[in-house]
Amino acid sequence: MAPPTVIDGTADNTPSATRISQAVGDQGYGAYADVYGTQANDFPVGRVALCVTDLGRGRDLVKAAAKADPGRTRRWWICT
């Protein structure tokens, strides 16, 4: 079995990034599917980069994720 991937000594897909990714992805594949592009976990470590086609709706997506699952969406970046 291959050793786990690490970034600066931290395991890739850290638990915090995975939790954020799940909360945002739930919204991105639901009510915000029209603007959701993709996301990258641990970019940088412990954060999630969210790519959307509309910045305003992308911010709404993150707010909806925070409301649906409080405490998970503290570390995100958004790009268009």
Distance set, CA 19 to CA 1, 11, 42, 74 (Å): 25, 14, 11, 10
What is the predicted pLDDT for the residue at 57? 94
Q: Tell me how crowded residue 22 is: count the other CB atoms within 10 A of its CB.
A: 14
What is d(CA 31, CA 29) in angstroms, rounded to the nearest whole number? 7
pLDDT in tens, 9-38: 666 677 777 778 888 888 989 999 999 988
What is the pTM for the complete model shown? 0.70
User: What interhelical angle do 55-68 and 15-28 show, nearest 10?
Assistant: 110
pLDDT in tens, 45-72: 777 888 999 999 998 998 888 888 776 5
Q: Tell me how crowded residue 8 is: count the other CB atoms within 10 A of its CB.
A: 7
